[in-house]
Structure 1
Amino acid sequence: MSIGKLYDAPSCRVTPLKALVKHFKLDVDIVQRDAEFGKLFPLKKVPAFVAADGTPIHEFIAISYYLLSQIPNNPLAPKTKEDEAEVLQWVSFGNQEVLGAAWDTFGPLTGRAPYNKKSVDAASEQLDKLIALTYEPHLTKNTYLVGEKVTYADVANVALLSRGFEYLFDDAWKKKYPATTRWWLTVSKNAVFTGFDFPVTSERIQYTPPKKEETKKETKKEAAPKAANAEDAPAPKKAAHPLAALGPAKEPIDNWKRVYSNEDTREKAIPWFWEHYDPEDYSLWKVKYKYDDELTLTFMSTNLIGGFVNRLSASTKFMFGTAVVYGTNNDNGIIGAFMIRGQDHVAAFDVAPDWESYDFTKLDPSKPEDKEFVDNMWAWDKPVVTASGESKEIVDGAVLK
């Protein structure tokens, strides 16, 4: 009999819980968020777990200890009450202090949160300070966080630090904190994490600001001839966009953009779109933000998609799309529809450094539900119906045209 179900999500707080379930073969169903999720967990935050008797359990540490209690002869358990207190201490510290500083650093740098250089720099300094004052001196003298074997303190903290090693901790950082690096690399390869991939960066991710459209035309100036040298050599031509190789479409995308901008969306623009849409020249895609559980205030989510759309400017000639924010503060999501020249979404989207923060699903306009989705994304005049069946009003959005 199942001991409960764990709601899945791309969160480093969920990773160690899934690792426990899979490694120790716990009879737990790992499920996607559904209509019941919203009823049982009104804050709609993960991790979230429902015990066999229907008891909803939220908060990372509470779910961790419930799952640990279900493991017979748990090898991750500490030996003494004092060690148990230390495990709880490290898990709490990693969950609250370290992950908070890490998120405030990598979130804006990866485009998942609004960027403010001063705030990001402060968070980055705080993260390094926390590691310098805790993990590094402790792990210089000790192999693991608690005792002489791997405990849940190590498992949890490796997962909570995983975004740091994925995005922030470059080679220079690893040399500065060798004990922390040694411990993390060792435990991340422990059998409990079999089947889980922890990327490790060699270069710290850098913030890529949105490209600004030039508003002033260059003026031609006559200049005296200069001596031929390397500095006077003409600049190399900019590489052509991959989608340019497809050549012109039968119906230029600019025609649609003009109609969308100047006509009533439901009454005229959408009928025009379907009359002229050619599935051989173009493809339609649903674009869904992967990390809705990390979104907070709606205006911040709006800033997030505004930045994403701006960073797609290099592909503007080959695509059109809208992305919207739906829901309320601390309970919102991001979704959109995009039309792309050709059938390859990667070539259009990978110009934006944060494109991998989104899921892409190709749409089939011959299906009524896909066609209706596109209509609603173009018009913004109907609520978004989530995967769990909830209807949420559109708050704001951005248009790429």
Structure 2
Amino acid sequence: MSQGTLYVLPTSPRSFILEDLVKYYKLDIKISDEKDERYQHYFPLGKTPAFIGAKGYALTEVIAIARYLFSLVPADQVKGVLGKNGAQYASILQWESLINQEWIGAWVPTFYLAVGKAPFNKKVNDENLAKLNTIGGILETRLHDYTFLVGERITFADLFAVAAISVALKTTLGAPFLAKFPNINRWFKTVSQSPFWNGRFEGFEAVKEPLTFTPPKKEKKKETNAAAAADAAPKAPKAKAADAADEAGDEPAPSAPKPKHPLEALGKPKNPLDEWKRVYSNEETREVAIPWFWKNQYDAEDWSLWKVDYKYNDELTLTFMSNNLIGGFFNRLSASTKYMFGCLVVYGENNNNGITGAFLVRGQDYVPAFDVAPDWESYEFTKLDASKPEDKEFIENMFAWDKPVEVNGEKRVISDGKVFK
């Protein structure tokens, strides 16, 4: 019997440190990035990470969850990760608390300001960057005299700190921070190579040029006619506001569902989605799930297939931010869960990536399913024909993620993605 479910936001350091803890110690715990009904019942604030035990024992806050997870690990396996005595254990908690509250608390505003989630305020930005450098100085001094934060071996304090610092090195601090603090640089390289991470930081490089705020470009209104011009003006700002929230790794709350979904008027389809979603989640995708989809799920009278492309790929930066953008979009589509299934993937690499995917939609029009999300107009929709080999191949590839995506005649590797189900 499973020992519980860990709910995560995969790109958040508070989440992926717990994911890796579960995987490293082979705990029988389900990891989910979907906020299901059980999650909503226990965690009305919508925070991640969160944990629900097999008997309904519920926890939030990363440090508390980590301690509970360690309690499930045999003592001989934990060894010195939590210190060898009470003093070291207290020191580990001290460093975790500093990083969790002060470091992450200072980094998040710099990131929000850089990507436009918050109105840019130079004073706030400078104060938080200064705080990060002050904490950097504290770590640098400590690591001048010690190999690790607590004594001469890696503890959970080191692992937790590396997780938090890694996202700053990929965004608003980058290589200049490591150049300024050589002891942190040495320590980060050592700790990030720990078997605990199972290769998560393989090939890791801090960004050479840290992210900084760039004023948004003004959209040029179309001059075809007044209606088109009025249409064009509000789209980009609305999309960018939502996109910035996603890239920051902080998932907004789902949009409030409409009293009655317009697709209810179509009545019940011959083949509801529930069984397909179960098959897709539990069976081998290519070997079992996709053949099952064509045989048992897809009915051209009840359903339509759509290629979905993000319109502003030239504005995407880091692949994990692009994946966060997808996650936020899916979150805002939650009112249409009963009426569609699909996958969006991120193809390419940092600073050269794009978003595409395929959706199965109830009915023959995509608009009623997608317009529950305020940023749906940031995407372009093209109807697919399953009788065409090239369209069928694209759909299967989007469901399986095991082959490169062809974009403008070029093969692009899929680096990440999410499933809407």
Task: Tell me the TM-score normalized by structure 1.
Answer: 0.61
1:184 partnered with 2:173: no
1:141 partnered with 2:162: no
1:258 partnered with 2:222: no
1:351 partnered with 2:315: yes
**Cross-structure match for 2:104:** 99
Equivalent position amino acid for 2:25 in 1: F
1:209 partnered with 2:215: yes
Question: Structure 1 residues 115, 178: closer, same or farther in 2, change over 3 A?
Answer: same
**Cross-structure match for 2:3:** 3
User: Aligned partners of 1:48, 1:187: CA distance in 2, in Å?
Assistant: 25
- What pairs up with 1:222-233 in 2 under 5 angstroms? none
Give the counterpart of 1:294 among 220, 235, 250.
Answer: 250
Deviations 1:129-165 (A, max 9, x none): 1211x20100011001112111111111111112211
Task: Select the structure of larger CA radius of gyration.
Answer: 1
User: Aligned partners of 2:41, 2:190: CA distance in 1, in Å?
Assistant: 40
Offset of residue 362 of structure 1: 3.9
- What pairs up with 1:2-401 in 2 under 5 angstroms? 2-9=2-9, 10-31=11-32, 32-72=34-74, 73=76, 74-75=78-79, 76-132=81-137, 134-197=138-201, 199-212=205-218, 258=228, 261=231, 290=246, 294=250, 326=255, 345=309, 348-351=312-315, 356=322, 357-359=324-326, 360=344, 362=357, 364=359, 367-368=362-363, 370-376=366-372
Question: Structure 1 residues 33, 119: closer, same or farther in 2, change over 3 A?
Answer: same
User: Aligned partners of 1:101, 1:194: CA distance in 2, in Å?
Assistant: 28
The answer to which of 79-88 and 355-364 deviates more is 355-364
- Runs of 5+ consecutive residues of structure 2 not aligned to the other structure: 233-241, 258-306, 327-343, 345-355, 377-421
**Conservation of the 8 A alpha-carbon contact between 1:102 and 1:124:** yes
Question: Structure 1 residues 182, 293: closer, same or farther in 2, change over 3 A?
Answer: closer
User: Aligned partners of 1:154, 1:112: CA distance in 2, in Å?
Assistant: 30
Question: Structure 1 residues 375, 119: closer, same or farther in 2, change over 3 A?
Answer: closer
Offset of residue 293 of structure 1: 6.8
Instruction: Work out the percentage of aligned pairs sharing the same amino acid.
Output: 32
Say which SS state the counterpart of residue 13 (structure 2) adopts: coil
Deviations 1:6-41 (A, max 9, x none): 012131100110111011111111012211111100
Q: Which has the higher helix share?
A: 2
Equivalent position amino acid for 1:127 in 2: L
Question: Structure 1 residues 63, 253: closer, same or farther in 2, change over 3 A?
Answer: farther
Equivalent position amino acid for 2:370 in 1: V
Equivalent position amino acid for 1:52 in 2: A
Say which SS state the counterpart of residue 150 (structure 1) adopts: coil
Equivalent position amino acid for 1:14 in 2: S
**Cross-structure match for 2:380:** none
**Conservation of the 8 A alpha-carbon contact between 2:22 and 2:29:** yes
Question: Structure 1 residues 261, 15: closer, same or farther in 2, change over 3 A?
Answer: closer
Equivalent position amino acid for 2:95 in 1: W
Offset of residue 373 of structure 1: 2.0
User: Aligned partners of 1:348, 1:379: CA distance in 2, in Å?
Assistant: 12
**Conservation of the 8 A alpha-carbon contact between 1:46 and 1:293:** no
**Conservation of the 8 A alpha-carbon contact between 2:99 and 2:164:** yes
User: Aligned partners of 1:136, 1:188: CA distance in 2, in Å?
Assistant: 17
User: Aligned partners of 1:98, 1:34: CA distance in 2, in Å?
Assistant: 30
User: Aligned partners of 1:45, 1:87: CA distance in 2, in Å?
Assistant: 24
Say which SS state the counterpart of residue 148 (structure 1) adopts: coil
- Runs of 5+ consecutive residues of structure 1 not aligned to the other structure: 216-251, 263-285, 299-324, 329-342, 381-401
